[in-house]
Amino acid sequence: MNAAIEKRRLRVGVLTLVLAGLFALIVIRIAVLLALDGSRLSSLARGEHSEQVTLRAPRGSIVDRHGEAIALSAQAFSVYARPARLLRTASDADRIRLAQTLGLSPAELTARLNRPAHFVWLARRISQARADQVEALGLEGIGVLSEYKRYYPESNLAAAVVGMAGADDQGLSGLELQYDRLMRGGPVELREDRDALGHAILDSPLALRNAAPGARLELTLDAQIQARAETELAAEVKRSGARRGIAVVLDPFTGEVMAMASVEANGASDRLHNPAVQDVFEPGSTIKGVLAAIALEDRVITESQKIFCENGQWDVGGREIHDHGSHQWLDLQQIVEVSSNIGAAKIALTLGAQRYYRGLRAFGFGRPTGIDLPGEAAGIVRPARTWQQIDLANHGFGQGIAVTAIQLASAYGAIANGGVWMRPFVVKAAYDADGNTIFIHTPQALGRIISPTVAHSANVILRSVVNGEDGTGHKAAMEDFLVAGKTGTAQMINRATGSYYQNRLVGSFVGFVPADNPRLVILVVLEDVGHGHMGGLIAAPVFNEIASEALNRLNVASARRAYDAASLLPVSSAETESITAVVNAIGSTQPQRDRVRDSRLVPDFRGLSLRDALHMAAEHELNIQVEGNGYVTAQRPAAGQPLDGTPIKLSLGIAQQTAAMQPAAGRVHGRRRGGA
């Protein structure tokens, strides 16, 4: 009896010890799992029962100044897989059907599924029809997400400016990169919990949220002017054999870029690189217009002063400088008109290194303009202390310095608008998905660099290049509008040797039109052309074609009366008297401000836009200092005070004109002419 009880107790004890040992092992195993492998197992569990889904926002559109779409986002669909789940539940036949539906080979599908990842993309941005076919297979571990695909409805129009966005909607270049965060919008991260059968349980309030669309950019570009610039550039690149062509069209009074085109010789459009802001070239003789303005501003030369041009050949420090013709005594206008290198070199030497360097920097060379595009180059203007005598002479005709296209166009914009340097820009405004304004870019005047009198003199000098008997820019002349500008032909540098190629040139023309009331500055550059392809022969005609389209687009009326518009019908004397009476009556109702011009008193600038204020300053030959953007809200000295030669300080605000700010009768005001 006792023996049986002892045996039973022993068995119970052993069993207790075994169970206790097993329990201890379980506890130890649980502790090990929690301590060492807990996060991995927890992640696996979440992967089996929940899923992280990103709802991407549609990228904001890009439109031109008239609302024409240049870049849009369209809905597309992408297929993803949870490899472990799909491999566990799908048969070989199922995977073969999936591969065929996606347009993949079975081997390609298998390779993607065998990647060490919990989530893999099988196809990105496919059509809805293809996505529906994938979902119809009903395979576990396969999902379809709605995404957005970037496309450009005008193909490659303004490609270098707009840039491109990558597969993940990330901006890679151009405006797509510059304003990437703004245009991306707000994606939404959703976590879907799933039941035992894999069905989604959407009990999260996030499931009811949509991704916020990105901002819409409105550009200063005009699609029609841009298209014409690209077309004319492409034609001339083909005719001249150039490696590349560049064109810039901007408003000199606001800095708005209305076209920025670049065309490669092979016809390709590079969305990743914008040569108009990222590449430099030697400006050649186009710098002579700027040189003339600097020399006049510093009063080292007068318009009537003559310079001996050495009959076309001059030795400077053992180096020969040549002209294309044999010239003797020329004044400033003639030097620019015939594009005398010797005359320009002598003017630069008279200025001296320090003054010429300061003038070039004031005109924006050697520093970025600050345009709202990525990767802008600063250009090359070495410090004046490093210039030798021959360097200074060469810089006078644009050799030994390098500029960007946007720098050169902006510099001529300052001559065109009366002497004020305006920051160029390409984005006019940005709006959110509801149409609310995010920002509006207003013109930025960064300072007066030459007086209105000097700007006017430079304007007249540049007209002779196009209209003068010996001018080099005749092919830029227009029948209905007066053109001012300058041709340029520069040798290209062999970067391997540091010397100049003898038969590889850069031909250019930069000018503004109408010269008597500038509305546009246009620059055309043709890179790497052969010997004999001068800027006046290849770039000036392209300027003419672009200007014709742009002026027509802007409805700028010619100041020259067309003969075919004149009435040829006989008019009786009575009718003549009647017409005269009507004209006189109309004239008597014109605001008195258009006829009152007392040059001894300070004009009233209040309420004027920056463009009109610059026009008035130029007409009255006044120096002004501008602060702020928008419309003139205050000035010092006040209107009607005697002029004492000090600059007039204008304060600008972004508010629109009010009735109190409108010009009143009897106010001293300079009227704009032409197609304003």
The DSSP secondary structure of 272-318, one letter per residue, reads: T--HHHH--B--GGGHHHHHHHHHHHTTS--TT-EEE-GGGEEEETT
β strands within 444-551, DSSP E: 445-448, 484-493, 500-513, 520-529
Which pLDDT score is estimated for 196?
53
Which pLDDT score is estimated for 49?
54
Separation CA 365–CA 378 (nearest Å): 8
98 near 137, Cβ under 8 Å? yes
Q: What would the CATH number be for the domain defined by 223-429+442-553?
A: 3.40.710.10
Angle at 349 between CA 348 and CA 353, to 5 degrees: 80
Which pLDDT score is estimated for 51?
56
Which pLDDT score is estimated for 393?
96
Please give the helix or strand (H or E) that residue 408 lies within, else none: helix 405-416
Average pLDDT per run of 10 along the chain, which is 676 residues long?
73 79 80 67 57 71 95 85 84 87 86 81 83 86 81 91 87 95 75 54 48 90 96 95 96 96 86 95 96 96 94 90 92 96 96 96 96 96 95 95 97 96 97 93 92 95 95 94 95 81 91 95 95 91 96 84 40 40 36 44 83 79 76 84 83 51 35 32
Six token digits for residue 560: 């020259």
Nearest to 299 by CA among 351, 348, 362, 353: 351
β strands within 156-272, DSSP E: 164-165, 171-173, 188-194, 200-201, 216-219, 244-250, 257-264
Which pLDDT score is estimated for 619?
76
3 state SS for 332-375: HHHHHHHCCHHHHHHHHHHHCHHHHHHHHHHCCCCCCCCCCCCC
Which pLDDT score is estimated for 602?
86
341 near 327, Cβ under 8 Å? no
Six token digits for residue 358: 């300061």
Which pLDDT score is estimated for 673?
33
Which pLDDT score is estimated for 39?
66
The architecture of the domain spanning 53-188+204-219 is Alpha-Beta Complex (3.90)
Q: What are the sequence ranges of the domains in the chain?
A: 53-188+204-219, 223-429+442-553, 591-676
Which pLDDT score is estimated for 604?
87
Helix (H, G, I), strand (E, B) or coil at 644: coil
Q: Which fold, 591-676? A: Trypsin Inhibitor V; Chain A (3.30.10)
Domain pair 53-188+204-219 / 223-429+442-553, same fold: no
Which pLDDT score is estimated for 189?
62
